[in-house]
Structure 1
Amino acid sequence: MRFEHETLAQRVRFATGEAPAALCAEVQRLGGSRVMVIASDSEAALEVAADVPVVRHHHEVVMHVPVASAERARTAAAEAKADVLVSVGGGSTTGLAKAVALTSGLPVVAVPTTYAGSEATSVWGLTEGARKSTGADARVLPRAVVYDAALTLTLPVALSVASGLNALAHCVDSLWAPRTDPIDQALAAEGIRALAAGLPAVVADPNGLPGREQMLYASYLAATAFSSAGSGLHHRICHVLGGAFDLPHAQTHAVVLPYVLAFNAAAAPEAERRIADAFGAATALDGLQELRRAVDAPRALRDHGLDEADIDDAVTAVLEAVPAGNPREATADGLRRLLRAAWEGADPAVVTVGKN
């Protein structure tokens, strides 16, 4: 066994019902006296920053973090002379805070209210025109994360399902991503196990905390693995779809995941077996599909804004973004079959046969 693994420096506080006190402690630890809170109008109503020295509230949160939106947030932070950024919300909110940190170096304390996982990675993303650019930079990694499952109770079940499957995609991609290692794979496998337990529990009891705690725990493991392993084929596809066609982030990941799993599984038998074992299923795809049926997962890209006429353009863009070392060669024909099946909501098995 020979590998190199870098663990990111980050403090994590997991305490259901204690977000305000935990956030205040983390801001104090960073010496913050002029805090800019980034939160949408709905998330701002949670008032988790009531005891923090806030000098600016910034509510313009836009999916996929358009460059113009990021510039306005950067200007707001500079005008307020902020010394700490607090993000309260999902991946788009955390992503906006990261965009500010990327150019300012300001520390971020993240308070997630979904299972997006952006809070545990050093990955940033910005969209300009029809192209989403991503990168990794230590400056954008939140210095601290405050996890409070009670803050996710307002997340509707359908969004909880999509967000949870987005976290599951982090796990699956981490098992064969360009920089994957045994530590990433162990975190990813445990993340899959916890998500497979937590997601049905949230659907069965939306107001219960145990399932949502499992979901937050799993989303952190998933994101930590993903940040180390890098972006695999699944995420390259979804970044293209989100940036070019403005598709909703979590729902796109939820739809595309079984098709990428079906596409790669036979070419990555060890990873496939780990996924299957984590699900407690005969095969990885069987386990995923059983979970998706149990939680009524999003089924087709056409339901979320992708036009059939856009498929060929998407194939061309994805071909340019396929990561090195993907277990199976990704050709235009193979990707077209994958995307068409995802657009239709067809049986994922159709992408396991035929030419790449």
Structure 2
Amino acid sequence: MKVLSVVGARPQFVKCAPVSREVREVHEEVLVHTGQHYDYLLSEVFFNDLGIPAPDHHLEVGSGSHGVQTGRMLAAIEEVIGKEEPDLVLVYGDTNSTLAGALAAAKVHVPVAHVEAGLRSFDRRMPEEVNRVLTDHCSDLLFCPTATAVRNLAAEGVTAGVHLTGDVMVDALRENLPLAKERSTVDLPPKGYYLATVHRASNTDDPAALRAIMGAFARLDLPVVFPAHPRTQKKLAEYGIAPAANVRVTEPLPYFDMLALLSGARAVLTDSGGVQKEAYILEVPCVTLRENTEWVETLEDGWNVLVGADTNRIVAEAEKVAGSPRRHSARFGDGHAAERIAAIIAEYQP
């Protein structure tokens, strides 16, 4: 089959790497980069580190409001589909690139396959939640990372084409963690620091929320390594928020450095869905700077706690998690999700 894969944001590049490798063993793949993330540290470095083939089409859409960005992608992807005439369009995750790829394909009657289908935070105020729901409901193949995701789809009446494959992030982490430890330039004592990421608009675009989060970081009992998204850095400056002396703000980090930092952290403080899951897989406690999560399994097994943007809750939970008892299970699969996805695509009959 001719598979047109659409990616555009940092987490999608990580997921794409193992899947693309397996897909190309069996199929012809055309890789489309929307340009949703265009900064070198959020885009090109991932292709280099993870050995992802150069994109066949780079749409260079860039930033913009949700409507503007998604609309530009939709038109550009539709044009690529017309030129390439794929048998299947493969999309990842829950970004605007995901939704644009799915809609463009569905409108011209090309089957859609969704990696990471069935996730739900049940908060429609999140743009990602809207993207997930719409993408799932116009997909023909739905690759679910967990049994919870399968149940979520069934509750919405989606059962055809649903496959429990496991999570491709397990594939990526198993392959790349040894390389990360070998190549990383990180020089910090294991469990001697916290790692933080903040990028969600509900936190960065709310001065009170961002001040509360940064205030919590200032009160923590260990250094906080804070690779800051460009938008977050801009908002810190705009609001006049100066990070405390114990907060080490850096540019976004290459994948191997970020992975090495995450694996060695005492805990991670984040509003990222992907980082919550990576922390669970790596057995690192997580404090989530949100009131909900699509990765409920991490809560159920005690590796994650929701604190929102409440300074006192953030500090209390961050300093408590190090000694908390937890259980761990192979909730997200066995590291062979990409192989299953490629095999299912090979057997698919539109």
TM range (shorter): 0.3 to 0.5
What is the TM-score normalised by the length of structure 2?
A: 0.34
Higher share of residues assigned helix: 1
- TM-score, normalising length from structure 1? 0.34
